[in-house]
Chain A
Amino acid sequence: MKYGLVVIGASLGGLNSLRGVLSALPGTFRLPVAIVQHRSSDADDTLQFLLQKECARLVREVEDKEAIIPGKIYLAPGGYHLMVEEDHFALSTEAAVNHAQPSIDLLFKTAAEHFGPRVIGVVLTGTGTDGALGLAEIEHGGGVALIESRQTAFAQEMPAAAIEATRHAIELKLEEIGPYLVKLDREQEAG
């Protein structure tokens, strides 16, 4: 299999961008998707609910050591960091990393470590620089690096930092990201 996992990171303005991406994924989309959206530590399922409304696939908050299964959309729960550990996820309550919890960098780095060239990383709108280092590691490992274009991002700082940190990352407008992921998912089928 060419790809094994999509990881997405978003901060300020993320709800809108995430909805944009997820609503473009059909029910037949097979790659598992793991999402980190910066949020308060309140354990509250509003975000999951809002995303599920837009998405044909099942969206769920990750439980510790949950297996990574095709076709599922996984969301980092509030108050935890989300990491990839071999074929499953692991949670941690350690302090904020680069001012962020959940940390996009942590998810991306651990995804790169275990999936190498089989991971697709997407940095969406946001303030701060979280995600930039992680996306660079994904690129370094031979994975695909995508960034929301500053034309559509509500907050440009995070996409700008990701552009800065990477070499060949592809900048896409919000409405292009979902279809691009679908294309990669289909390539997978063909290959």
Chain B
Amino acid sequence: METIELPLLLEAMVQRYGYDFRDYAPASLKRRVHLAMQREQGVHTISAYQDRVLHDPETMARFLDVVSVDVTAMFRDPAFYKALRDKVVPAWRELPLLRVWHAGCATGEEVYSMAIMLHEEELLDKARLYATDINQRLLEQGKGRIFAIKKMKDYTNNYQKAGGKSVFSDYYTARHDDVILRAFLGKNIVWAEHNLVSDSSFNEFHMVLCRNVMIYFNRKLQDRVHRLIYDSLPVGGVLGLGHGESLQLTPYENCYEVVDRAVKLFRKIR
């Protein structure tokens, strides 16, 4: 049944709302659809769910929240930031202006991590950090600079392992169960809704980070996004992927050299 119903649901979403999940990786997508259905009262079949999605934009918005696996963390994979600082940042000193694109940034933890690092390297003032995601609600949350205080222990740990040069708690003020990051960290961030499935490249960047976003896509869609990223980088531009991701078997494998294989940092060479 599911093999008939699921494609119909996805088709309905494209037709009605323009959101195209047809080339998302099936294993994860199926789980997300079932999870989204469980959260709706009285929906027992995908067809019933489709009916509700079609007639109620709020249901679609809730689906978007479930399908965006928005798990993220500041200085996630500290080794990634360490390598970035040691192997990539030095070349940025000469630039008059630095543009970095965080594609699929969820609530922006990765973007603020970058801002902190650039601040410590005295590069933040000349930087523009483009923070994009398919889900506007996540971007709004990120813009607010408010994060749960209970996560700060892990983040502090990550920050130190990532080669942080200062004291992590200097970057936020605690209030009740939350912390608010200092305002200067947000002032060079441009937040914008951008769908990697259907939108095109919008600038050229010195670096693109697209970490743990393409794991939710099938190979065909991954290739499309790699094209988009390739088109957004000049020769010498840097690409950062998630720890479990790879350029291997993509059509662009040969267009990059490895900056650091273990943390998935690459540089465009042709």
9-residue interface stretch from B12-20, B24-32, B43-51, B125-133: B24-32
Max chain A Cβ within 10 angstroms of own Cβ: one of B77, B79, B215, B245: B215
Residue of B nearest to A92 (CB): B28
Alpha-carbon distance A110/B80, docked complex (angstroms):
30
Selected from B28, B76, B219, B222, the residue in CB contact (under 8 A) with A94 is B28
Main secondary structure of the interface of B (DSSP, over half): loop
**Interface members, chain A 57-72 (any B CB < 8 Å):** 61-66
Asked if A3 is at the interface of the complex by the 8 Å CB criterion, the answer is no
Question: Across the interface, do B31 and A90 meet the contact criterion of CB distance under 8 Å?
Answer: no
Main secondary structure of the interface of A (DSSP, over half): loop
Max chain B Cβ within 10 angstroms of own Cβ: one of A80, A91, A93: A93
Alpha-carbon distance A92/B222, docked complex (angstroms):
15
Asked if A121 is at the interface of the complex by the 8 Å CB criterion, the answer is no
Asked if A1 is at the interface of the complex by the 8 Å CB criterion, the answer is no
Asked if B244 is at the interface of the complex by the 8 Å CB criterion, the answer is yes
Asked if A174 is at the interface of the complex by the 8 Å CB criterion, the answer is no
Provide the B76-103 mask, 1 if CB < 8 A to any CB of A, else 0: 1101100000000000000000000000
Question: Across the interface, do A62 and B25 meet the contact criterion of CB distance under 8 Å?
Answer: no
Q: How many residues of A contact B (CB 8 A)?
A: 22
Q: Which residues of A have CB within 8 Å of B76?
A: 79
Max chain B Cβ within 10 angstroms of own Cβ: one of A64, A80, A83, A91: A64
Question: Across the interface, do A90 and B25 meet the contact criterion of CB distance under 8 Å?
Answer: yes
Question: Across the interface, do B27 and A94 meet the contact criterion of CB distance under 8 Å?
Answer: no
**Interface members, chain B 189-227 (any A CB < 8 Å):** 212, 214-216, 218-219, 222
Q: Footprint of A on B, CB under 8 Å?
A: 25-28, 31, 69, 71, 76-77, 79-80, 212, 214-216, 218-219, 222, 242-246, 248-249, 262-263
A sample of 7 inter-chain contacts (CB < 8 A) reads A63-B246, A80-B243, A80-B244, A92-B69, A93-B71, A94-B71, A110-B27
